[in-house]
Amino acid sequence: MKKDTVNTFETMEDATEEMTVTLELDCGSVTCAIASIFSVKDKDYIALMPLDEDGQGDGTYWFYGYSENENDPNEEPKLRYIEDDEEYEIVEDAFDEILDNAEFDEIIDVQ
């Protein structure tokens, strides 16, 4: 769990149109790929994968609460640090299930 301030959400100019966010942490800036935005128990969350200097991730994900201003679509989304360990584990488990379902769907599509 990383505490942070969000600097920017942006679209990288590549074929996949991968969305990224830059976090300002105590150790410096970290660019992360947005893996998923999902809901758990009527709350929205975001899964971020930290990227190295080459734009590669190592399979590590960070989870934050996520919210957008419905009245102003131009306002940058806000991330909330998940302080409660139980809430963090619930979010992590939900994301693991999303990954498992995505892998299952890929297997089905290949056959």
> What does the pLDDT read at residue 40?
95
At 18-32, the pLDDT tens digits run 789 999 888 889 999
Is a pLDDT exceeding 50 seen at residue 1? no
Q: Contact 20/30 with Cβ under 8 angstroms?
A: no
**Where in the sequence is the domain holding 95, given as residue range(s)?**
5-110
Residue at token pair 């991330």 = 79
pTM: 0.76
| pLDDT tens-digit readout, 29-85 | 999 999 999 999 999 999 999 999 898 998 899 999 999 998 998 998 999 999 999
- Going by C-alpha positions, the residue among 49, 15, 21 that lies closest to residue 35 is 49
What is the number of structural domains in the chain?
1
Q: What is the pLDDT of residue 105?
A: 56
